[in-house]
Chain A
Amino acid sequence: DGGITQSPKYLFRKEGQNVTLSCEQNLNHDAMYWYRQDPGQGLRLIYYSQIVNDFQKGDIAEGYSVSREKKESFPLTVTSAQKNPTAFYLCAGRRDRGSGELFFGEGSRLTVL
């Protein structure tokens, strides 16, 4: 099936540990995005990438890092520098010259103990 696949769905980590969330797509989307979702705050953009080997900071990039070595993959690392990492993380893809629609994965819920 085509789509955006995020893993793991649930992740628990101790404070101070880095964690990496996986995002894979087989939709041939040019751009990929990472959003953070907190209750009552909507979706906030962390990082996005329009092309392989290039990415830009979003509105809340501090404490996060990404890479885009392949078109299909856009992993997000939540580093120990992120002050409040517990959240629901959403990855999305978008086609260039398309309708503008973002296609989201099902999300990864990270809980830092």
Chain B
Amino acid sequence: GENVEQHPSTLSVQEGDSAVIKCTYSDSASNYFPWYKQELGKGPQLIIDIRSNVGEKKDQRIAVTLNKTAKHFSLHITETQPEDSAVYFCAASLGTGTASKLTFGTGTRLQVTL
């Protein structure tokens, strides 16, 4: 089955700096890669996703890049703000239908300091 590794497990950055979180996946058939943000005491929420037919996707201050050859994808957050502090999870799956099972990484706790 799919295995997703995520690094680093914790990341501390100063407000205004950039943050990068990296994930690798094992199954070359996987073609859907979402990123979720989980705030304290809440459920995860999708912030951005990318499909294997594109190499990069941006949404304001966040971007995701995908390298299919190397089987890794990364989340980039620019101009970090205190409200970006949360746990971030990457995930991978084959397809997006209801039978597609997402495999999650182990999470990165991001702390943005003033």
Give complex CA distance A44, B103 in Å. 8
Give complex CA distance A105, B107 in Å. 18
Give complex CA distance A106, B44 in Å. 8
A42, B107: Cβ atoms closer than 8 Å? yes
How distant is B103 from chain A, measured CB to nearest CB, in Å? 8
Within A30-57, the residues touching B (CB, 8 Å) are 30-31, 40-45, 48, 50
Give complex CA distance A101, B106 in Å. 19
Give complex CA distance A59, B99 in Å. 14
* Given A94-B98, A100-B100, A101-B34; A107-B106 close (CB under 8 Å): no
User: What chain A residues lie within 8 Å of B97 (beta carbons)?
Assistant: 96-97, 100
Give complex CA distance A25, B93 in Å. 24
B49, A48: Cβ atoms closer than 8 Å? no
Q: How many residues of A contact B (CB 8 A)?
A: 28
10 contacts between A and B (CB under 8 A): A31-B98, A40-B106, A42-B6, A42-B106, A48-B98, A48-B101, A95-B98, A100-B34, A104-B44, A107-B42
B47-78 interface mask toward A, CB cutoff 8 Å, 1 = contact, 0 = none?
Answer: 00100000000000000000000000000000
User: What chain A residues lie within 8 Å of B4 (beta carbons)?
Assistant: 42
A50-86 interface mask toward B, CB cutoff 8 Å, 1 = contact, 0 = none?
Answer: 1000000011000000000000000000000000000
Give complex CA distance A58, B103 in Å. 11
How distant is A33 from chain B, measured CB to nearest CB, in Å? 9
**Across the two chains, which residue of chain B brings its CB closest to A93?**
B98
A contact face: mostly helix, strand, loop, or mixed = loop
How distant is A29 from chain B, measured CB to nearest CB, in Å? 9
A50, B98: Cβ atoms closer than 8 Å? yes
How distant is B95 from chain A, measured CB to nearest CB, in Å? 8
- Residue in A42, A100, A107 whose beta carbon sits within 8 Å of that of B43 in the complex: A107
* Given A31-B98, A96-B98, A99-B96; A41-B106 close (CB under 8 Å): yes
A42, B42: Cβ atoms closer than 8 Å? no
User: What chain B residues lie within 8 Å of A106 (beta carbons)?
Assistant: 41-43
Say whether A21 faces chain B, with CB atoms less than 8 Å apart: no
- Residue in A58, A98, A104 whose beta carbon sits within 8 Å of that of B45 in the complex: A104
